[in-house]
Structure 1
Amino acid sequence: MSDLTVDFELLKTSTKQLNAIRKEFKGLGEWKDDITSVVGASELRRAMTDFIDNWDDNRKRLVESLEKVGKMVEGTRDAFKSLDDELAKSGKKKPK
């Protein structure tokens, strides 16, 4: 039988990094007005508006996905930690 090894620090770090990335993407916010106000040509303004709208939609989906994955990683870490604690307790019990 092989032993299962879980790197709790890696899972903890991964959760923190996913949250940081999610916050960065979420914090980009609305910047369409800033960009389109400096573009003079109407065709270019429309193209920029289309690009920004597409980016915003995809950014929102990415933020949602990062949040879900972060929760999954955190749940995995918590489940393995709980199991590890239970196994440690059962190993310390004295036989009757």
Structure 2
Amino acid sequence: MADLRYSLELLSGLGRELTSLADALDGTARRTSWDAEDVGHRLVADALDGFAGSWDDRRELLTRALRAVGAMATESAATFQDVDDQLAAEIRAVLEPR
């Protein structure tokens, strides 16, 4: 069996960071309406409206993906910790004098 090396601290930290990033993205202001007077030309305003609408959709997809991967990292860290604890308990049981 191949050796598996991991850092519970890094894995659980990754989960927290990704969730935090998703929260930050989710909280960004959504300005989806531009006026020609704001930007100087109707074509520019229309382009900005199109970009903002697409960005809102993409931001939602990205936020969902960040939350999902963050949850996977957090759950993986918890599972690795549980397995590590179980293996340690089994080793202690074998090594204890009878």
Question: What's the TM-score once normalised by structure 1's chain length?
Answer: 0.84
**What is the percentage of aligned positions where both structures have the same residue?**
29
RMSD: 1.8
2:43 equivalent to 1:55: no
Q: Secondary structure at the match of 2:39?
A: coil
Letter in 1 for 2:28: L
Q: Which residue of 1 aligns with 2:75?
A: 75
Q: Secondary structure at the match of 1:32?
A: coil
Uncovered stretches (5+) of structure 1, i.e. residues with no partner: none
CA positional deviation for 1:2: 4.8
CA positional deviation for 1:40: 4.7
1:1-96 alignment, distance < 5 Å = 2-33=2-33, 36-37=34-35, 38-93=38-93, 94=96
Cα distance in 1 between the residues matched to 2:42 and 2:83:
61
Cα distance in 2 between the residues matched to 1:85 and 1:30:
46
Cα distance in 2 between the residues matched to 1:74 and 1:61:
20
